Structure 1
Amino acid sequence: MSADGLARARHKMKDAGVPPTAVDAFTRFYGLLESGETGLIAERDITPLTRVPHLADLDVDEKAGRRALAVTAVIKLNGGLGTSMGMDRAKSLLRVRGERTFLDLIAEQVLVARATTGARLPLVLMNSFRTRDDTLAALAAYPDLRVDGLPLDFTQNQEPKLRADDLTPVEWPADPDLEWCPPGHGDLYTALHASGTLTALVEAGFRYATVSNSDNLGAAPDARIAGWFAGTGAPFAAEVARRTPADRKGGHLVVRAADGRIVLRETAQTRPEDADAAADIETHPFFNTNNLWLDLRALAAELERSGGVLDLPLIRNDKTVDPTDPASTPVVQIESAMGAAIEVFDGAVVLEVDRSRFLPVKTTNDLLVLRSDVYRLTEDQRLVATVDAPYVDLDPAHFKTIGAFDQRLPAAPSLVGATSLRVRGDWTFGRDVAVVGDAVLTDGGAPSTVPDGARVGPTGIA
């Protein structure tokens, strides 16, 4: 290891204007990384989390829910660029229903909740340097969103990628932007603190925050959950949902055997030899939705005590400096998960919710289902499933990027009669197409078209 790796990284961050608190958080993680810490959580060191209250079983007083929501802020993580789908701007600017984007529906969910409950409900986005300008320009269409004295957004921090061989900051003159990476969404707490947003929220009278990803339209403001959280007196809560075979991968909550604390184990923190046990949905029945509830006073107190640096577990992410070039320099990205803060707070709690609170879009497969008639849009701007969502598997050679996807699917087909859709080859869908049963389109070796009004089923086009 290079003796001056940390010093060089700190100097690079300071020169780039990264806040001192974020530099301190990076310094802590660098020390863990240099000491050989991997962040891995062994199956032998945990026990499953199996007893969790369900939202449907809670008796929450309606007035208590409204009181809690009146002092709740909505925070959305909006730093994602959707690069896996070929995007170079905020994923929240993707169209979801007609011409309306994730960001449109988020704004409308907040405005409707304000109108129906009387709550101020500020919407605050955690942007990245790459998503901020486009996002704020889009939000200009909603001038009533801003709450006096509070920002519409704050910016997550950045840190240098480290060479895997000596942990010095990587140099990549071909594209210096690739020398930097976000610190994972665990940076939420440092960025809230360093930006002054946390102080502004508390001073404006807000006690709680509901936090979720901007690509998850299921996580709309909810007075019942707010009332439950306020009633627990807990400093921190995580929403979890039952795993299905489709959820074998991903973060899940477990109990650390050494001290009985609930902890988050992400996929990157699972040892290869524990992969089968971690994927067992009977043993570990709950996955982390990344919908969190925070007591802002408790968070402010803990950040004050810790100098703005929460004691989060390290996640070591091994990559190449250019993620599109596997032959480029191997690097380590230091990351942390915001859900991992559950182990920081004494008395943290967990709540089971149904799948309607978890509608993420990670691929164009997910986006097609969300755009289709599987979901309907309610008056409060929530997307509600009309049937069980079918399994969709589009040929990544022709549908992976948004540009290619939109070109071949200018209008979403009906999926309410489908149990699955598997497409191989270069297919372009016409309008008013209906997919039924376990539908399959095979690769004919040349670009093909599904005609307007056609039905696609187990034998292809009917």
Structure 2
Amino acid sequence: MGSPGLKKARDKMVAAGVDEVAIDTFAHYYRLLEHGETGMIPESTIDPVDMEALADVEVPEDVAREALQGTAVIKLNGGLGTSMGMHRAKSLLCVRRGLSFLDIIARQVLHLREQHGATLPLIFMNSFRTSADTMAALARYETLPVEGLPLEFLQNKEPKLLAHDLSPVSWPKDPDLEWCPPGHGDLYTALRGTGLLEGLIEAGYDRVFVSNSDNLGGVPDPRIAGWFAASGAPFAIEATRRTPSDRKGGHFARRKGDGRLVLRETAQTLDADREALADLDRHRFTSTNNLWFDLRAMRDALDQREGILGLPLIRNVKTVDPGDPSTPEVIQVETAMGAAIEVFEGSRLIEVGRERFVPVKTTNDLLVLRSDVYDIGGDFVLDPTTTALPFVDLDSDHYKLVSEFDKRFPEGAPSLRKADALRVSGDWTFGRGVEVVGEVSLDATSAQRVAPGTVLKPDD
């Protein structure tokens, strides 16, 4: 007999039409929670890891081309951008010249198809909140769908659990807040439950490239496809060097007990190990969340585990309403898709340049992406124009929400090519053609305007 809380959660998921495999997967993690599992990875159990770099790898052009022809692309597109005040798919945000993330992703893939003669299916993993908006935006790309394959599949959902007794929360004034996504580790559960995993294999595809839709650097690169195919590995992740902005983020390591590669997220790090987490010399590589896996190896692993891959638990403590800290404390049971690296013997890592990791999590990131720090050419791939990205820190009281951010850059982003850092405290509106040079700080107690054509320098 299961616990009362698990039974209530199961019944709730069944009533909502959640896939049976997803319910069984949730139950697996629920039992781990009941037994006090935290998902923590102590520093004493891991060693730093090194890896080969893409820059040092030789991939013959014919190998790269053939590998791309056997590749399908999945974009994780379930996010709403709520932290930036959005209530629709974050990928609908405008990047530049009237093009959204979705526009650029679609055009990147269409260009690669034409350039390499590859079918290269593009499939979005949407949430029930992002599906309609996303599919409407993609309707203009009539040649994007590949016959016999869907353009989207839906990630699963699960109930938020009250922290004090692990029962599913009830929130009648906004029932949507009773649910949460199971983290992007749900990718594998959803692929199996929807039948898409088997469908891709039957359609003749060998591997999948996965990346986040808010990372325009995550392009299905033929060279990496060729490297992965030639390696014979079942699973691989692109890693990049950590920078000071990654001190609080996850990193790769090797587990002492069995020698397997692991991905340790911040939520899996003990407070006593925070200093080691932040040590960029010890743990040098972070995940780009660009990953590759062999479809048959994934099917076999899921079959052997009755659909439950067994990724490490992430116990995420939040409030029912993330925007209201006074609402009840809940636990969201999550997994990270990159953690699957420890499931497969022979998994690989490869170091890539920072240009393949351009996530947009805040309006600070959005300003850099909209600026001239990147060129976007005919292949719609981001081309960095600087050797190092500028650090941007905008006053959250005035710039955190996209609607407020846009009001303060009505004529577009300033030039940041020559910038080392831009820190803005207070309410500043930027005119057209502003240029930032070096390390600039702006501070004001009342609303101010940077005049058009101004060149901001450190002594301004």
SS at match of 2:201: helix
Rounded Cα–Cα distance in structure 1 between residues aligned with 2:459 and 2:442: 8
The reply to whether residue 205 of structure 1 matches residue 169 of structure 2 is no
The reply to whether residue 47 of structure 1 matches residue 51 of structure 2 is no
> Which residue of the partner structure matches residue 425 of structure 1?
426
| Deviation of 1:196 (Å) | 1.1
Output one character per residue of 1:2-27: Cα deviation in whole Å (capped at 9) or x when no partner: 94000000000000000000000000
Rounded Cα–Cα distance in structure 1 between residues aligned with 2:218 and 2:368: 17
> Which residue of the partner structure matches residue 401 of structure 1?
401
| Deviation of 1:204 (Å) | 0.5
> Which residue of the partner structure matches residue 440 of structure 1?
441
Output one character per residue of 1:108-157: Cα deviation in whole Å (capped at 9) or x when no partner: 00000000000100000000000000000000011100000000010000
Output one character per residue of 1:195-215: Cα deviation in whole Å (capped at 9) or x when no partner: 111111111101110001001
> Would you say the 8 A contact 1:72–1:210 is kept in 2?
yes
| Deviation of 1:71 (Å) | 0.7
> Which residue of the partner structure matches residue 33 of structure 1?
33
> What TM-score do the two structures reach when normalised by structure 1?
0.98
Rounded Cα–Cα distance in structure 2 between residues aligned with 1:182 and 1:166: 20
The reply to whether residue 297 of structure 1 matches residue 296 of structure 2 is yes
| Deviation of 1:436 (Å) | 1.3
| Deviation of 1:458 (Å) | 2.0
| Deviation of 1:70 (Å) | 0.2
> Which residue of the partner structure matches residue 335 of structure 2?
336
| One-letter amino acid of the structure 1 residue matched with residue 238 of structure 2 | E
SS at match of 1:10: helix
Unaligned stretches of 5+ in structure 1?
none
Q: Size of the alignment, in residue pairs?
A: 457
| Deviation of 1:245 (Å) | 1.6
* Residues 231-246 of structure 1: pairs in structure 2 closer than 5 A: 231-246=230-245
Rounded Cα–Cα distance in structure 1 between residues aligned with 2:371 and 2:97: 10
Rounded Cα–Cα distance in structure 2 between residues aligned with 1:258 and 1:129: 40
| One-letter amino acid of the structure 2 residue matched with residue 7 of structure 1 | K
Rounded Cα–Cα distance in structure 1 between residues aligned with 2:97 and 2:455: 22
| Deviation of 1:219 (Å) | 1.1
SS at match of 1:145: coil
Output one character per residue of 1:7-57: Cα deviation in whole Å (capped at 9) or x when no partner: 00000000000000000000000011110000000000111112x010011
Output one character per residue of 1:74-129: Cα deviation in whole Å (capped at 9) or x when no partner: 10000011111001111111111221011111000000000000010000000000
> Which residue of the partner structure matches residue 346 of structure 1?
345
| Deviation of 1:344 (Å) | 0.7
The reply to whether residue 84 of structure 1 matches residue 83 of structure 2 is yes
| Deviation of 1:246 (Å) | 1.8
SS at match of 1:173: coil
> Which residue of the partner structure matches residue 459 of structure 2?
459
SS at match of 1:44: helix
> Which residue of the partner structure matches residue 249 of structure 1?
248
| Deviation of 1:333 (Å) | 0.4
> Which residue of the partner structure matches residue 122 of structure 1?
121
> Would you say the 8 A contact 1:218–1:357 is kept in 2?
yes
> Would you say the 8 A contact 1:82–1:88 is kept in 2?
yes
| One-letter amino acid of the structure 2 residue matched with residue 178 of structure 1 | L
SS at match of 1:144: coil
> Would you say the 8 A contact 1:71–1:207 is kept in 2?
yes
| Deviation of 1:379 (Å) | 2.1
| Deviation of 1:397 (Å) | 0.3
> What TM-score do the two structures reach when normalised by structure 2?
0.98
> Which residue of the partner structure matches residue 153 of structure 1?
152
Rounded Cα–Cα distance in structure 1 between residues aligned with 2:58 and 2:128: 42
312-321 vs 429-438, which deviates more? 429-438
Rounded Cα–Cα distance in structure 1 between residues aligned with 2:64 and 2:306: 33
Output one character per residue of 1:174-215: Cα deviation in whole Å (capped at 9) or x when no partner: 211100000000000000110111111111101110001001
> Which residue of the partner structure matches residue 142 of structure 1?
141
Rounded Cα–Cα distance in structure 1 between residues aligned with 2:235 and 2:63: 18
The reply to whether residue 287 of structure 1 matches residue 250 of structure 2 is no
Output one character per residue of 1:414-455: Cα deviation in whole Å (capped at 9) or x when no partner: 111211111111111111111111112111x22111111112
Rounded Cα–Cα distance in structure 1 between residues aligned with 2:166 and 2:391: 42
Rounded Cα–Cα distance in structure 1 between residues aligned with 2:430 and 2:355: 28
| One-letter amino acid of the structure 1 residue matched with residue 206 of structure 2 | R
> Which residue of the partner structure matches residue 178 of structure 2?
179
> Which residue of the partner structure matches residue 367 of structure 2?
368
91-100 vs 110-119, which deviates more? 91-100
> Which residue of the partner structure matches residue 97 of structure 1?
96
| One-letter amino acid of the structure 2 residue matched with residue 20 of structure 1 | E
Unaligned stretches of 5+ in structure 2?
none
| One-letter amino acid of the structure 1 residue matched with residue 95 of structure 2 | V
> Which residue of the partner structure matches residue 18 of structure 1?
18
SS at match of 2:318: strand
Output one character per residue of 1:295-347: Cα deviation in whole Å (capped at 9) or x when no partner: 01111111122221111110000011011111110100000000000111111
| One-letter amino acid of the structure 1 residue matched with residue 242 of structure 2 | R
| Deviation of 1:247 (Å) | 1.4
* Residues 320-331 of structure 1: pairs in structure 2 closer than 5 A: 320-331=319-330
* Residues 211-226 of structure 1: pairs in structure 2 closer than 5 A: 211-226=210-225
SS at match of 2:143: helix
| One-letter amino acid of the structure 1 residue matched with residue 433 of structure 2 | D
| One-letter amino acid of the structure 2 residue matched with residue 421 of structure 1 | L
Rounded Cα–Cα distance in structure 2 between residues aligned with 1:326 and 1:298: 43
| Deviation of 1:459 (Å) | 3.4
| Deviation of 1:256 (Å) | 0.7
SS at match of 1:105: helix
SS at match of 1:143: coil
The reply to whether residue 274 of structure 1 matches residue 289 of structure 2 is no
Rounded Cα–Cα distance in structure 2 between residues aligned with 1:352 and 1:370: 22
Output one character per residue of 1:346-403: Cα deviation in whole Å (capped at 9) or x when no partner: 1111111111111111110111011101110122111111012211111000000000
> Would you say the 8 A contact 1:440–1:456 is kept in 2?
no
The reply to whether residue 392 of structure 1 matches residue 406 of structure 2 is no
